[in-house]
């Protein structure tokens, strides 16, 4: 395999005018904060040519120290992408602070996509996260109107010893989905009604909270669709982080998911989480199927945590009955009621298929169970509906705990 250095003349046509019929690509906006200690962020020109706006009114301006953006107090800093943002990301770290109280729950970063710079936080997508948990919120009226649309915990707690991690949000404006690429390697799609209409982010905003708990650093930030730039931005990151950049490169059909199952209120209930996916060629051989593997983690955020992996098989073609087969399973707390204890696969005579999961009774009424994981195969993810009944033609139930 041979390689060569890429000259500037090779690069300019890719990001500039459509010269000679070459492809036009959106720019990769980024900053790696390569500047002298004490450099003010506000007014700084990034290596990609944009100007930083920092801070919002009344906040403390961010500065650069040790090749990273930081601040002694709460601050918002923004860059103008100039078009709808396809992806916003950053590499970041928590470090011990002199006289810091070590409270992890208040040591938060936030990425935001908005229609204005950091002085006006309206029509905003707001991803806030600590070393342990994350929350995605939206608002049309400013910080006081933030409403949660998704939340979760990292697979493993992140360290606060200066180790750097990366995370990103991608915006699917057609399907109104935000995809969170977590610092733990997780990939979580979150439905956001109004994405592309009410929420049309063209400014990237990065927030740092106060120095009360830890010293917070952004080592790099970026916007755009460039995989190469995403990997560059992950250069300082902990080993798991680049997995998020490369997720989905396998040839198999893969669909990550994260779904809160609202409404059980401590009672047992079935929830529909997927329906059939179309396959084949119309007029030749076609149909719908739920077929493949499901990896599922479920918890109520308190005592009940379990992981299950199982195979599904159901098709609308022929008279075969739905089949479920457990591959592995584990109760992280064997003394507690499992959060999810069964799966059900069913079909009817009208070409419909459904995959449901069962939330056990006796859990906390105030803590909805959240399931997250991955479909691999033929599945159509749906917004969970409670009290789902099996479809009428045939069904089968898999008892995770009994296997």
Indicate if the pLDDT at residue 331 is higher than 70.
yes
Q: Give the residue with greater pLDDT, 229 vs 92.
A: 92
Please answer whether residues 278 and 296 qualify as being in contact, where contact means their C-beta atoms are separated by less than 8 angstroms: no
Query: Residue 253's pLDDT is what?
Result: 65
Element (H, E) at 242: helix 242-246
Q: Which of 18-22, 66-70, 78-82, 185-189 is the least confident region?
A: 18-22
Strands (E), 21-100: 29-31, 39-40, 63-65, 68-70, 75-80, 87-96
pLDDT number for residue 9: 32
When mean pLDDT is compared across 1-15, 40-54, 138-152, 354-368, the lowest value belongs to: 1-15
318: left (phi over 0), alpha (psi -120 to 50) or beta: left
Contact 386, 261 (CB under 8 A): yes
- pLDDT tens digits along 124-172: 999 999 998 999 999 988 777 888 898 888 888 888 888 888 899 999 9
What integer is the mean pLDDT of 209-219? Answer: 84
CATH of 8-246 given 3.20.20.150, 2.60.120.560, 1.10.760.10, 2.60.120.380: 2.60.120.560
State the Cα angle at 277 between 272 and 281, rounded to 5°: 160
pLDDT at 362 over 90: no
Please report, for the chain, how many H helices and E strands are present, in that order: 3, 26
Q: So what's the pLDDT on residue 25?
A: 52
Q: Please list the residue range(s) of the chain that carry CATH number 2.60.120.560.
A: 8-246
Q: What is the mean pLDDT of residues 166-181?
A: 90
**Residue-level pLDDT at 234:** 43
């Amino acid at each position: 395999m041979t390689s060569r250095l890429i000259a500037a003349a090779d690069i300019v046509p890719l990001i500039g005018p459509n010269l000679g019929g070459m492809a036009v690509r959106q720019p990769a906006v980024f900053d790696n904060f390569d500047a002298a200690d004490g450099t003010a962020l506000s007014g700084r020109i990034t290596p990609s040519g944009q100007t930083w706006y920092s801070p919002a009114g009344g906040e403390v301006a961010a500065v650069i120290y040790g090749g990273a953006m930081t601040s002694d107090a709460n601050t918002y800093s923004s860059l103008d992408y100039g078009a709808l943002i396809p992806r916003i990301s950053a590499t970041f770290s928590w470090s011990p602070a002199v006289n810091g109280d070590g409270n992890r729950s208040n040591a938060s970063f936030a990425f935001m996509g908005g229609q204005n710079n950091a002085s006006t936080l309206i029509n905003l997508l707001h991803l806030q996260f600590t070393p342990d948990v994350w929350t995605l919120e939206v608002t049309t009226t400013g910080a006081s109107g933030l409403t949660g649309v998704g939340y979760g915990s990292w697979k493993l707690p992140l360290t606060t010893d200066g180790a750097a991690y990366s995370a990103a949000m991608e915006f699917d404006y057609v399907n109104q989905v935000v995809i969170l690429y977590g610092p733990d390697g997780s990939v979580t799609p979150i439905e956001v009604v109004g994405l592309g209409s009410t929420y049309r982010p063209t400014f990237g905003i990065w927030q740092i909270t106060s120095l009360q708990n830890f010293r917070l650093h952004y080592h790099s930030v970026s916007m755009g669709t460039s995989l190469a730039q995403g990997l560059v931005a992950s250069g300082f990151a902990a080993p798991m982080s680049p997995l998020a950049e490369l997720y989905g490169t396998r040839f198999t059909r893969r669909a990550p998911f994260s779904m809160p199952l609202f409404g059980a209120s401590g009672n047992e209930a079935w929830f529909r989480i997927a329906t059939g996916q179309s396959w084949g060629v119309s007029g030749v051989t076609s149909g719908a199927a739920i077929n493949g593997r499901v990896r599922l983690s479920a918890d109520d955020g308190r005592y009940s945590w379990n992981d299950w992996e199982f195979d599904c098989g159901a098709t609308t073609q022929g008279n075969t009955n739905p089949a479920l087969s457990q591959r592995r399973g584990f109760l992280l707390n064997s003394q507690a009621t499992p959060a999810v204890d069964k799966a059900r696969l069913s079909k009817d005579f009208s070409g419909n298929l459904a995959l449901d999961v069962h939330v056990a009774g006796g859990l906390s009424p105030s803590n909805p169970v959240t399931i997250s994981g991955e479909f691999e195969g033929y599945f159509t993810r749906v917004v969970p509906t409670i009290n789902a009944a099996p479809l009428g033609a045939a069904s089968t139930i898999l008892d995770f705990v009994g296997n």
